[in-house]
């Protein structure tokens, strides 16, 4: 399996003036609602190039990528790889999945059952093995939720549901390793009977039956869309779903990143609003393909590039942070590191971080995970047709993706960045984040107030150590990915004492200590004004 990148998009019949020829009406509507212009990345690859490759009998074209202008090819033999050099429209190519000659060497677990190549789905399955499924009944204040009550109420999601918002009108694309029995289990009959399953597609083995593959996606889907009255209630029963298999559990190669890319482009083209991905990539069966911590800067890996592009196209991308917290590799995987991804770590039922939840920060110093949700003892639909418990950040991610759909339903005019920011700003540590909890556990009732402009806690800046000291710090939340700001110090007469300009800040929490010479100031009350591109924040300060 080989990935090829094309030099250009010439000899193409497609035009940005006729987007309906390659995007669905709903995808076009999403862009128009969020004022996202059509660009070169929206254009399909040149059909001429694809047809030229298909003429070669040693080559099978699996799928193409608009965003990275390339294609995934199956080459019948290594002897024919050099044939690719004969096509002058190919800029570069790389072997993303070699021929597997010894399946035993590609096992994701060693003889002791520990993970050799960290990947979220595999470790989740092992966690499930260690904590077997059991029938659970946990009713109290919200009997309609049954076993799902705690995971919903931990993020105050019942408030949105109580107002009648359950994700109607929103489409969630679920990326996973398979959806075994999701077409027959009673927990999903509500989705099927309500025509909430928009469709399904297999990017690993095109044309295969995704309902006879892996079970992990079934569990993940049930956190959002599973419904067994009185026993299980998903976080977004009103949403619609695309089920996309992008992960191959039999091996771990970079091809799966390209599968993810293809899935993201497909989700974009059919008009999905949200991607839930309980997947992560760090190390591979071929060590040459391995990523290292320095690569997790949010824009280097193939899957991070794909996630960022999806976000730029107006989708909200929700991804599990990973279960590496107790392993040698303890950091988040990719695409959880991506700038455009809402990365979700894991807690227990009481909101305390579980040991397996991955750490941040990213290699470029950003806060990750972004937020937390229940990842231990999560209620899911199991293969026995009842309710079980599962462990892993794979299950905290769909909980948030589902609640995001409900929030977005209430605020249909909001764009994906506004929804993402509201969720983060609602979290209990959003002004005091760390590398373990990120911004903390979101509160969807507060997210409502934030989007309504009512929540007093939405101020995005405050002062550490007041009265002022030389080491006092201004901590603030920047909503742009990168911008330059200025900070003014103003006295009680409205006079500007000093200004610091051209401070380069990144998205998220930033901290500045500009008061080294504060002892030269007179005693009194001052205003610290932080000037962002689109807003200003004022903080009252005292100098003794």
Q: What pLDDT score does 100 carry?
A: 55
Cα–Cα distance measured from residue 386 to residue 65, given in angstroms and rounded to the nearest whole number: 40
The CA–CA distances, whole Å, from 3 to 60, 72, 73, 257 equal: 12, 5, 6, 11
pLDDT score of 391 more than 60: yes
Average pLDDT of span 460-477 = 83
- Kindly list the domain boundaries of the chain, sorted by start residue: 2-95, 103-452, 459-543
Tell me whether the CATH fold assigned to 103-452 matches the one assigned to 459-543.
Answer: no
Q: What pLDDT score does 520 carry?
A: 87
Question: Residue 114 is inside which H or E element, if any?
Answer: none
pLDDT score of 137 more than 50: no
Q: What pLDDT score does 308 carry?
A: 97
Q: Which of 123-137, 180-194, 343-357 has the lowest mean pLDDT?
A: 123-137
CATH class of segment(s) 459-543? mainly beta
Q: What pLDDT score does 465 carry?
A: 80
Highest mean pLDDT among 125-139, 144-158, 304-318, 506-520: 304-318
The answer to whether the CB of 187 falls within 8 A of the CB of 223 is no
Residue with tokens 């200004």: 499
Q: How many residues are recorded in the chain?
A: 544
The answer to whether the CB of 189 falls within 8 A of the CB of 234 is no
The DSSP code for 355 is T
Sequential DSSP letters for 440-495: ----HHHHHHHHHT--GGG--EEEESSS--TT-EEEEEEEEEEEEEEEEEE-TTS-
* 3-state secondary structure labels for all residues of 236-278: CCCCEEEEEECCCCCCCCCHHHHHHHHHHHHHHHCCCCEEEEC
Q: What pLDDT score does 463 carry?
A: 83
**Residues contacting residue 280 through CB under 8 Å, at least 6 positions apart:** 118, 119, 120, 319, 320, 321, 322, 332, 333, 334, 335, 336
pLDDT score of 129 more than 50: no
Average pLDDT of span 321-326 = 92
Q: What pLDDT score does 459 carry?
A: 61
User: Percent of the chain, pLDDT > 90?
Assistant: 66
Residue with tokens 């090829």: 4
How would residue 106 be classed by pLDDT, with cut points 50, 70 and 90? very low
Second-level CATH architecture of 103-452: 3-Layer(aba) Sandwich (3.40)
């Amino acid at each position: 399996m080989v990935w090829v990148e094309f030099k250009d998009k010439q000899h193409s019949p497609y035009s940005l003036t006729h987007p309906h020829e390659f995007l669905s009406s709903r995808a076009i509507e999403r862009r128009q609602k969020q004022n996202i212009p059509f660009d070169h990345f929206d254009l399909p690859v040149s059909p001429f190039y694809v047809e030229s490759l298909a003429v070669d009998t040693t080559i099978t074209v699996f799928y193409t990528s608009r965003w990275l202008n390339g294609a995934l090819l199956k080459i019948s033999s290594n002897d024919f790889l050099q044939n690719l050099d004969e096509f002058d429209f190919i800029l570069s190519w790389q072997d993303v999945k070699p021929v597997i000659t010894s399946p035993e060497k590609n096992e994701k677990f060693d003889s002791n059952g520990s993970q050799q190549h960290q990947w979220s789905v595999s470790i989740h399955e092992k966690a499930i093995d260690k904590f077997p499924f059991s029938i659970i009944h946990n009713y109290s204040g919200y009997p309609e939720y049954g076993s799902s009550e705690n995971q919903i109420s931990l993020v105050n999601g019942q408030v949105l549901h109580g107002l009648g918002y359950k994700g109607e009108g929103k489409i969630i694309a679920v990326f996973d390793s398979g959806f075994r029995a999701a077409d027959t289990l009673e927990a999903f009959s509500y989705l099927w009977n309500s025509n909430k399953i928009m469709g399904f597609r297999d990017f690993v083995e095109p044309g295969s039956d995704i309902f006879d593959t892996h079970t992990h996606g079934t569990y993940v889907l049930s956190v959002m869309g599973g419904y067994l009255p009185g026993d299980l209630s998903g976080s977004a029963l009103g949403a619609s779903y695309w089920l996309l298999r992008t992960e191959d559990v039999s091996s771990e190669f970079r091809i799966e990143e390209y599968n993810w890319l293809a899935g993201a482009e497909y989700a974009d083209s059919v008009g999905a609003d949200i991607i839930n991905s309980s997947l992560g990539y760090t190390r591979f069966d071929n060590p040459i393909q391995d990523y290292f911590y320095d690569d997790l800067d949010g824009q280097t890996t193939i899957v991070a590039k794909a996630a960022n592009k999806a976000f730029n196209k107006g989708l909200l991308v929700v991804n599990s942070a990973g279960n590496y917290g107790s392993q040698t590799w303890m950091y988040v995987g990719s695409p959880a590191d991506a700038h455009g991804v809402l990365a979700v770590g894991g807690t227990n039922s009481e909101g305390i971080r579980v040991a397996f939840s991955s750490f941040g920060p990213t290699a470029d110093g950003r806060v990750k995970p972004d937020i937390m949700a229940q990842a231990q003892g999560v209620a899911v639909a199991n293969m026995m047709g009842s309710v079980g418990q599962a462990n892993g950040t794979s299950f905290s991610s769909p909980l948030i993706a589902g609640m995001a759909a409900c929030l977005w339903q209430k605020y249909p005019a909001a764009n994906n960045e506004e929804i993402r920011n509201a969720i983060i700003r609602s979290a209990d540590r959003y002004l005091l984040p760390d590398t373990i909890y990120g911004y903390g556990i979101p509160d969807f009732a507060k997210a409502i107030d934030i989007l309504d402009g009512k929540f007093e806690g939405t101020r995005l800046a405050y002062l550490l150590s007041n009265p002022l000291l030389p080491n006092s710090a201004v901590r603030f939340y920047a909503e742009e990915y990168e911008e330059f700001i200025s900070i003014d110090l103003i006295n009680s007469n409205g006079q500007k004492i000093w200004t610091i300009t051209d401070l380069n800040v990144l998205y998220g929490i930033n901290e500045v200590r500009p008061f080294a010479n504060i002892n030269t100031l007179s005693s009194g009350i001052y205003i610290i004004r932080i000037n962002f591109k689109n807003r200003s924040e004022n903080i009252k300060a005292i100098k003794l």
